[in-house]
């Protein structure tokens, strides 16, 4: 399994000279099988999704997009995803459902006039929109387990993704302080890599609790509790400059156990 980090910010993009090395795009990770640079799965569709069009060029996207939840920083790349918005593309999009609403209708609440010129069905190519329950399913040859996590402002999933002997858990927005249930612990247990919300520092903890996010110390404690082999600090605050993230990368390395995500980072597992 190969992971390519295309966007590592939380909340809102962070352009500008202070953010060039870690990157300013919001959450998006491409997941592909070994030695294959064309991802079959994309985790979240923040503004980082735009980078995937260049990565795939000249090809169209053909695969599945798993959304953790529907906050702006996880969906705003969808209408600007050139490799997905063309006649020869295929995209099967999965998102956490809300009672009484289809996946398409949920997405259309942010993507339709007057908020945006087109609705989901205005995207070219073959798109499907599905709101799965947190139960295991198989997609593109990967085993996927969505699980509910505490966050604020809408239902939020984490995902465990398994391919052969390689496994990851993707939990970009999570407030462990609000409680972690047994199913979530089990879904994260023993993964090769836990990619986790690390938006706040310990002295910012009141804001982390207010906004439904994690501190880096909480992410490390969680990774140790579930016996993850490595932890990727992800969903960086849009205020966190390259200099500040360098300091975090050094302070929290724990002998290589913890990696600080940056745009363009790749990990090969399994």
Q: Is 197 an interacting residue with respect to Zn ion (CB under 5 A)?
A: no
Angstrom distances, CA of residue 181 to CA of 65, 148, 176, 178: 25, 8, 9, 10
Q: Is the peptide bond before 15 cis (omega within 30 degrees of 0)?
A: no
End-to-end CA distance of the chain: 6
**Torsion on CA atoms 42, 142, 264, 73, rounded to nearest 10:** 30
Nearer residue to Zn ion within complex by CB, 1 or 169: 169
What are the tokens at 100?
């009484």
Nearer residue to Zn ion within complex by CB, 30 or 166: 30
How many residues of this chain bind Zn ion (CB under 5 A)?
4
Stretch of 54-62, 96-104, 165-173, 223-231 contacting Zn ion, by CB under 5 A:
165-173
Nearer residue to Zn ion within complex by CB, 28 or 226: 28
**Torsion on CA atoms 132, 184, 231, 228, rounded to nearest 10:** -120
- The sheet that has 266-268: what strands, in order across it? 126-130, 90-94, 62-66, 41-43, 28-32, 2-7, 266-268
Nearer residue to Zn ion within complex by CB, 85 or 173: 173
Site for Zn ion in 216-255 (CB under 5 A): none
Among 10, 77, 84, 176, binds Zn ion (CB under 5 A): 10
Q: Is 71 an interacting residue with respect to Zn ion (CB under 5 A)?
A: yes
Supply the minimum distance, in Å, between the C-beta of residue 200 and Zn ion.
Answer: 12
Burial 190-222 (b: 16+ CB within 10 A, else e): ebbbbbbbbbbbeebbeebbebbbbbbebbbeb
* Inter-residue contact 199 to 10 (CB < 8 Å): yes
Supply the minimum distance, in Å, between the C-beta of residue 17 and Zn ion.
Answer: 24
Supply the minimum distance, in Å, between the C-beta of residue 75 and Zn ion.
Answer: 10
CA pair distance 51, 61, nearest whole angstrom: 12
Nearer residue to Zn ion within complex by CB, 10 or 23: 10
Supply the minimum distance, in Å, between the C-beta of residue 27 and Zn ion.
Answer: 6
Nearer residue to Zn ion within complex by CB, 73 or 85: 73
Site for Zn ion in 18-37 (CB under 5 A): none
* Inter-residue contact 64 to 140 (CB < 8 Å): yes
Nearer residue to Zn ion within complex by CB, 62 or 199: 199
Supply the minimum distance, in Å, between the C-beta of residue 35 and Zn ion.
Answer: 31
Stretch of 9-17, 179-187, 241-249, 254-262 contacting Zn ion, by CB under 5 A:
9-17
Length of the chain: 270
Nearer residue to Zn ion within complex by CB, 48 or 63: 48
Among 1, 52, 73, 166, binds Zn ion (CB under 5 A): 73
Site for Zn ion in 173-192 (CB under 5 A): 173
* Inter-residue contact 202 to 239 (CB < 8 Å): no
CA pair distance 57, 79, nearest whole angstrom: 18
Q: Is 44 an interacting residue with respect to Zn ion (CB under 5 A)?
A: no
Q: Which residue ranges make up the site for Zn ion (CB under 5 A)?
A: 10, 71, 73, 173
């Amino acid at each position: 399994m190969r992971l390519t980090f295309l966007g590592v910010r939380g909340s809102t993009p962070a352009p500008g000279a202070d953010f060039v090395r870690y990157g300013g795009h919001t959450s998006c990770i491409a997941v592909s099988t070994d030695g294959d640079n064309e991802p079959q799965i994309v985790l979240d569709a923040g503004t980082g999704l735009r980078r995937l069009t260049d990565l795939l060029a000249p090809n169209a996207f053909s695969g599945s997009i798993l959304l953790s939840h529907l906050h702006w920083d996880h969906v705003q790349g969808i209408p600007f995803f050139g490799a997905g918005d063309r006649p020869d593309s295929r995209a099967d999009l999965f998102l956490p459902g809300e009672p009484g609403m289809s996946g398409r209708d949920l997405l259309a609440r942010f993507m339709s006039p007057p908020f945006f010129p087109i609705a989901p069905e205005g995207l070219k190519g073959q798109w499907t929109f599905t709101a799965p329950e947190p139960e295991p399913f198989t997609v593109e040859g990967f085993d996927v387990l969505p699980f509910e996590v505490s966050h604020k402002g809408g239902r939020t999933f984490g995902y465990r993704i398994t391919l052969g002997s390689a496994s990851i858990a993707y939990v970009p927005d999570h407030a462990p302080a609000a409680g972690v249930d047994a199913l979530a612990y089990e879904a994260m247990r023993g993964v090769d890599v836990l990619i986790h919300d690390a938006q706040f520092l310990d002295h910012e903890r009141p804001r982390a609790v207010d906004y439904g996010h994690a501190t880096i110390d909480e992410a490390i404690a969680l990774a140790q509790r579930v016996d993850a082999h490595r932890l990727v600090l992800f969903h960086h605050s849009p205020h966190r400059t390259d200099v500040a993230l360098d300091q975090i990368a050094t302070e929290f390395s724990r002998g290589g156990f913890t990696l600080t995500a940056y745009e363009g980072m790749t990990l090969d597992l399994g």
